[in-house]
Chains A and B, each alone.
Chain A
Amino acid sequence: MAAEQPSALPIARTCPYAPREEHVRLREEEPVSRVTLPTGTQAWAVTRHEDVRTLLADPRFSSDRSRPGFPMVEERSKQSASVLPRMLVSMDPPEHGPARRAVLGEFTVKRMNALRPRIQEIVDEHVDAMLAGPRPVDLVRALSLPVPSLVICELLGVPYDDHEFFQSRSASIVSHTASHEDQKTALVDLAVYLDGLLRAKEAEPGDDLLSRQIGRQREEKGSVDRHDLTGLAFLLLSAGHETTANMISLAVLQLARNPEAREALRRDPGGTPHAVEELLRYFTIAEQAVGRVAAEDVELGGQLIRAGEGVLVLSHAANRDPRAFPDPDAFDAGRGARNHLAFGYGAHQCLGQNLARMELQIVVDTLLRRLPGLEPAVPVDGLPFKDDAIVYGIHEFPVTW
């Protein structure tokens, strides 16, 4: 008799403000259990905060997306995983450590603090444009998308004159209305551009990430691998553009829904860092980014996970684990919990997390100060949320003030 297929695990979000019931039930009743993913493959689902940390800290679980058994939640990821260049996110020890350390210096707290004035400028420019423009306006197009894309321009060392080009191609790549052809063209345009930019920096280095990576490669390998560095630039773009953009939109939404919290922040911007942490925990937008495949048999949460079996982390549910967060489903801007899993955990924890924090803090403070009347221009229940996307967010967010 055929073995019973483990229950199907729906992944798409149904509510912006809480994890799916099915995920919560698993967390409470079957914390480490077999499920069937929408792709038809089977995997383990891990939902408790403590188990997620144990899993992500255990080197016996591989991050290699090309390994058979790696849990893919949708067909698209399955296909693209095989053609993606070997990126940090997919590396295991011993390759991972040195590769990550080679770029870590670009993301230290000190470096992020040095970017603060420029980020503030970028945010102010976009608020200026909003104030001078018509209302209502789509927050996503006017602020959420351009700000992180321009910050990445700063990081990479894209010359000012090329910012518009870079920004429009990045927007195309993540657009849900752009055709596949347009998206492909945008990708190629950017790849060609980056190759040219790298050549220019090889000849004349600047004070930026790409120039420093060129210098590092020359020192360590004697030559420059432009393909590798283009891949790095794309990784930073794909990891740091839409994610931060989505959080900006959701931050504005959540503060609009919570006038008390908004007022408290306006009166005391010192509370912004805690509010940003709570926004990150509350929405846990990058849930689908976190999966592993067992490289050997491992026991977790009383279950035996066999080598070759995939494990999916349901971070949104884990970030509402009452064992880790008192009154977990409440949005408490003053909670100050830094142990959430929105940026993951372990050796692969988000490289850009401090950049994300800084961008969000600056956006929240600036909007509260300069656009205090900012509010949704449509009922928020009708907003087009990215229910099916790999990173949760809002497609369009008409706002007014």
Chain B
Amino acid sequence: MSMRVSVEEDRCCGSGQCVLLAPDVFDQREDDGTVVLLDPAPPEGLHEEVRESAAVCPGAAIGVREDA
């Protein structure tokens, strides 16, 4: 399974839950807390955390596409 992650900065509320869940995939900009996508194609070991990040994101700013 490959996974493609995208983020919509305009929707980001800066809650940082994605950073707490998957710090190798997401970071926050220092000046305004907006999400920074570190890895748009994370390895399978991180897929669970990325799915959870997308699910809890209060701005629904994380897009996850999974292909078999």
The interface centre, meaning the residue of A104, A107, A343, A346 with most chain B CB atoms within 10 A of its CB, is: A104
Q: Is A235 at the interface (CB under 8 A from chain B)?
A: no
A298 to chain B, nearest CB (A): 17
Find out whether the CB atom of A353 lies under 8 angstroms from the CB atom of B32: no
Q: Is A108 at the interface (CB under 8 A from chain B)?
A: yes
Task: Give the docked Cα–Cα distance between A110 and B14 (Å).
Answer: 12
Find out whether the CB atom of A353 lies under 8 angstroms from the CB atom of B31: no
> What size tier do the contact residues of chain B reach?
20 to 34
**Residue from B14, B32, B52 within 8 A of A338 (CB atoms):** B52
Total A-B residue contacts, Cβ distance less than 8 Å: 61
B28 to chain A, nearest CB (A): 4
Chain B contacts for A105, CB-based, 8 A: 29-33
If A100-B14, A101-B14 touch, whether A107 touches B33 (CB-CB below 8 Å) is yes
Q: Is B42 at the interface (CB under 8 A from chain A)?
A: no
Find out whether the CB atom of A109 lies under 8 angstroms from the CB atom of B58: no
A226 to chain B, nearest CB (A): 22
Find out whether the CB atom of B21 lies under 8 angstroms from the CB atom of A108: no
Q: Is B41 at the interface (CB under 8 A from chain A)?
A: no
**Residue from B15, B19, B34 within 8 A of A101 (CB atoms):** B34
Find out whether the CB atom of B56 lies under 8 angstroms from the CB atom of A109: no
A80-117 CB mask vs B (1 if < 8 Å, else 0) is 00000000000000000000111011011110000000
Task: Give the docked Cα–Cα distance between A354 and B13 (Å).
Answer: 13
Q: Is B60 at the interface (CB under 8 A from chain A)?
A: yes
Chain B contacts for A110, CB-based, 8 A: 28, 30
B1-60 with Cβ < 8 A to chain A: 13-17, 19-21, 23, 28-34, 52, 55-56, 58-60
Dominant secondary structure at the B interface: loop
Chain A, Cβ-Cβ closest to B23: A109
Task: Give the docked Cα–Cα distance between A353 and B34 (Å).
Answer: 15
Task: Give the docked Cα–Cα distance between A307 and B30 (Å).
Answer: 38
Find out whether the CB atom of B34 lies under 8 angstroms from the CB atom of A109: no
**Residue from A102, A345, A354 within 8 A of B58 (CB atoms):** A345
Chain A, Cβ-Cβ closest to B11: A347
If A108-B14, A109-B19 touch, whether A346 touches B58 (CB-CB below 8 Å) is yes
Find out whether the CB atom of B32 lies under 8 angstroms from the CB atom of A104: yes
Chain B contacts for A345, CB-based, 8 A: 58
A positions within 8 Å CB-CB of B: 56-57, 100-102, 104-105, 107-110, 338-339, 343-351, 353-354
With A338-B56, A346-B58 already in contact, 15 other A-B pairs whose C-beta atoms are closer than 8 Å: A57-B58, A57-B60, A100-B13, A104-B33, A105-B30, A105-B31, A108-B16, A109-B19, A338-B17, A338-B21, A343-B15, A345-B58, A347-B13, A351-B14, A353-B15
A-B contact pairs, 28 of them (CB 8 A): A57-B58, A57-B60, A100-B13, A100-B14, A101-B32, A104-B34, A105-B29, A105-B31, A105-B33, A107-B14, A108-B19, A108-B28, A109-B20, A109-B23, A109-B28, A338-B17, A339-B55, A339-B56, A343-B15, A344-B58, A345-B58, A346-B59, A348-B13, A349-B13, A349-B15, A349-B58, A350-B15, A354-B16
